[in-house]
Structure 1
Amino acid sequence: MDKRVLLPTDYSRNALNALRYAMQLYKDVECDFYVLNAFQVSGYTLDSMMVPEPGERLYETAKKDSRVKMERLMKMIKLYPENPKHRFHSISTFNSIVEAINHVIAAKDIDIVIMGTKGLTESRARIFGTNTVAVMERIKECPVIAVPVDYSFSTPKEILFPTDYKTDYKKQEIGHLIEIAKLHDSKINVVHIDKDKDGKLSKSEEANKQLLQDILNGSDYEMHFVPGVKVSKGINLFMENKPCDMIAFLNRKHWFFGSMLSNPLVKEIGYDPTIPILELNDN
């Protein structure tokens, strides 16, 4: 399988770490990596009526700064051990990060976006930076992996996939999770977290559970049940007993992941992401 991977960067240490993670995650896969910097112009917002034009001093200064840093980054990439399966392409553009990502996804037929959890200007108190939250909430065309600050690559042998069985599943949206699991011989740990202690499923929930099992058939997976706790507590309890290398969420508009991102993450689910998060989209 050939992959087209989009790597947004603000040239921060976290962004570079996410780039290295992507190279390791797909080290055995033919990949085209598109390194994207969406630059801004100081004092302007894309929503304002005053947008700097190409040729204007501030625009050209920001453009030059972006391209100089991109050239430096591409030279740095060449210092890493060469992988003949990997090809790198650079894109520097004046735009918001979300609009730039959407444009490149469409233009380059991107399969997955991999980025850091925060950038240059994010405070240490924030687990996810504002750009990462915006990308995860608004990019619907492909999955997004968020890589924590200073995370050192570890083969994702155990993947946590929490669910409540409230909605049905589609092969297409779960397919990216299955693909990564098969690539690394990973086990997918499906964890049903239920605030009620009995764990009884309604007919529709039972049907959704069976559908998920049908989709996962042929993969290495295991079903788990964590009773009597909220999602936040259930995730932490499971991770304490069975450490995982990646956590995958299906981003339903009405499910907990969307609301989780809209609020401070650590308060909403009490989960400090020390491992990469794979966000799967509701197609």
Structure 2
Amino acid sequence: MEKKILIPSNFTKHAWNTLVYALNLYKDIPCTFYILNTYKVSSRISLGRNQTADLEAAKAESEKGLQKIMQGINFRKENQKHQFETISRNKELAEAIQEVVDAHKIDLILMVSRGENVSINTAFESEISEVIQKVEDCPFLVLPEQMQSLPETNREIVFPTNYKFSFKNKELSALIEMAISLNASIRVLYIDSLGKPLTKEQEENKESLKSYFTKVDFSFHKLTQTSVTTGIHLFIESRESNFLALYKRRQGFFSKLFSQKFKEDIDFNPKVPVLILKELE
């Protein structure tokens, strides 16, 4: 089945590298890539004709930048499984992304974080965390600036959960599809900070994951005597895992990563790409 992937671009080198990474990541998968650029003209007291001229100039610059991206893609002679569409919008980034997601039924949004780590905490990366917070009904894949090439074998996606809540199949579909398309294993990680046995409800939720992951290789893992963030970091580093998948509920620990209120309490900046799954109605 063809995937529809949205990549916002501000025409920087890092935005181009994100696109190239996506093309390599999904080289064997039929995809339509939607490349989005947004622009805003500052509102000010001036003659209406000057505002119009500024708007037209910004639009022309946006369309020119998108055209250059297409020229770069054509020069690379990408494979026939990939199609491309460019979109220019005079809107705020989150609003434009939501519009494209709704109009084109986007499966995945790719963005790049500044720096060597993926900074999704609002204390470090306000634009990405703001967009993730506002855009609904679509998962994100957030990449570090310095993206490492994937190994040919033994690829892993780490998926932390406390088993306290059940999942919907559609909420995990992006994780399952990524594992299948990349021939990667899913490592379900439980951090037992309190040293207590799982409750009956937790056991049931753990069992339900088995039914969702029947088409992929997966395993369950447990760490004790560590915090959630430290445990995740240690697990990824010790196994040299390639991706991290976070399930973002409206309430709960990982929702705090996207809240300015908790910026003093959470230092969470993984060095691997982070797939952010959204809680759905």
Q: CA shift at 1:55, angstroms?
A: 7.1
Match of 1:161 among 146, 159, 162: 159
2:29 aligns with: 29
Answer whether contact 2:233 2:270 (CA < 8 A) is retained: no
CA RMSD of aligned residues (A): 2.7
**Distance between the aligned counterparts of 1:70 and 1:234, measured in 2?**
41
Q: Give the Cα separation in 2 of the matches to 1:161 and 1:265.
A: 22
Of stretches 109-118 and 259-268 in structure 1, the one that deviates more from structure 2 is: 259-268
**1:260 maps to amino acid:** L
For structure 1, the residue ranges without an aligned partner over 5 or more in a row are: none
Q: Specify every segment of 5 or more residues in structure 2 that has no aligned partner in the other structure, as ranges.
A: none
Matched residues in 1 for 2:177 and 2:35: separation?
A: 22
**In 1, are the aligned partners of 2:192 and 2:225 still within 8 Å (CA)?**
yes
The one of 37, 59, 63 equivalent to 1:63 is: 59
Q: Residue 262 of structure 1: CA displacement?
A: 2.3
2:244 to 233, 243, 247: 247
Per the alignment, residue 145 of structure 2 pairs with 149
Normalised by the size of structure 1, how large is the TM-score? Answer: 0.88
Contact 1:14 1:116 in 2 (8 A): yes
1:237-276 pair list within 5 angstroms? 237-263=234-260, 268-276=265-273
The alignment partner of 1:166 has SS state of coil
The Cα of 1:264 is off from its aligned counterpart by 9.7
Q: 1:44: which partner in 2?
A: 43
Provide the residue aligned with 1:212 in structure 2.
209
DSSP 3-state at the match of 1:280: strand
Which among 215, 222, 226 is matched to residue 225 of structure 1? 222
Cα distance in 1 between the residues matched to 2:49 and 2:204: 55
The size of the alignment, in residue pairs, is 273
Q: 1:128, CA displacement in angstroms?
A: 5.4
Distance 1:218 1:33, change over 3 A: closer
User: Kindly tell me: are residues 179 and 187 of structure 1, through their superposed partners in 2, closer, same or farther at Cα, counting changes over 3 Å?
Assistant: same
Runs of 4+ residues deviating >4 angstroms:
52-55, 263-269
CA distance in 2, matches of 1:201, 1:53: 67
Give the residue type in structure 1 aligned to 2:215: G
Cα distance between partner residues in 2 of 1:13 and 1:68: 16
% of aligned pairs identical? 32
Q: Secondary structure at the match of 2:258?
A: helix
Alpha-carbon distance in structure 2 between the residues aligned to 1:53 and 1:280: 45
Worse overlay, 270-279 or 242-251: 270-279
AA aligned opposite 1:4: K
Task: Name the counterpart of 1:234.
Answer: 231
Does the aligned pair in 2 maintain the 1:127–1:272 contact within 8 Å?
no
Provide, for residues 131-190 of structure 1, a one-character-per-residue CA deviation record: whole Å limited to 9, x for no partner.
211221122211110111121332581111011111111111111111111112211000
Letter paired with 1:234: G
Deviating more after overlay: 80-89 vs 96-105: 80-89
Which region of structure 1 is more displaced relative to structure 2, 160-169 or 60-69? 60-69
Residue in 2 aligned with 1:80?
76
Displacement of 1:84 in angstroms is 0.6
Q: CA deviation at 1:192?
A: 0.3
How far apart are residue 54 of structure 1 and its match? 10
TM-score where L is the length of structure 2: 0.88
Q: Distance in 1 between matches of 2:49 and 2:105?
A: 28
The equivalent of 1:16 in structure 2 is: 16
Of 136, 142, 154, which aligns to 1:140?
Answer: 136
8 Å CA contact retained: 1:5, 1:113: yes
AA aligned to 1:34 is Y
Partner of 1:278: 275
